[in-house]
Amino acid sequence: MSSGLPDGIYMIICRDDDGQEMAVHIETPSAVGEPVRLAPMGQFRPSPIRIDNHGGDSYQLTPADGPRMPGMPCLAAKREALPPMILLLPTGTGQGDMTEWALDQSGPETYTIHGTPQSGRGDLCWTARGDRIQLEGQMGKPTQQWRIVPLIRD
């Protein structure tokens, strides 16, 4: 089911294999090419993530603390990387890179985040693996259920 999520700034949280809540945490929005990390809730401040609808069920996710301009870093994946994982990559990168995501609501504030049909990798879902986010086939696991919680900014 499509999310209809409004554009805005959110924190993104998942449970790891041990049931601990982990939040998307980006040390610095300029760390292009680096894996996006997960950090235990309460130990680090969840990174504010800007979610922008790019038409239909296609969303771009960018660090809210970073610049808003062409080539800005976004949460992306290199299409052929093994293992495929979420990295900070510039918008408009290689044609095979996945820089837009489908967000399918699976419960209140809970979503499955996966590749768009246009990416040719719509079967791959964000999956919490330790302190990283890998892309794996959807199995309905708790590590593939992401809470997307609106943040109120000053």
Q: What is the mean pLDDT of the chain?
A: 87
Instruction: Identify which has the larger pLDDT, 56 or 132.
Output: 132
- For 86, 97, 142, the CA distances from 129, given in Å and listed in that order, are 11, 21, 11
pLDDT at 36: 94
Q: Is the pLDDT of residue 18 over 60?
A: yes
May I ask the CATH architecture of the domain 8-142? Trefoil (2.80)
Q: Is the pLDDT of residue 29 over 70?
A: no
Three-state DSSP at 117 gives: helix
pLDDT single digits (tens) 47-78: 999 999 988 889 999 999 877 777 788 999 98
pLDDT at 30: 64
- Burial grade of 153 (CB within 10 A; 0-12, 13-18, 19 or more): exposed
Task: Give the list of residues 6+ apart from residue 51 with CB closer than 8 angstroms, or none.
Answer: 5, 7, 8, 9, 10, 59, 60, 61, 103, 148
Q: Where are the domains of the chain?
A: 8-142
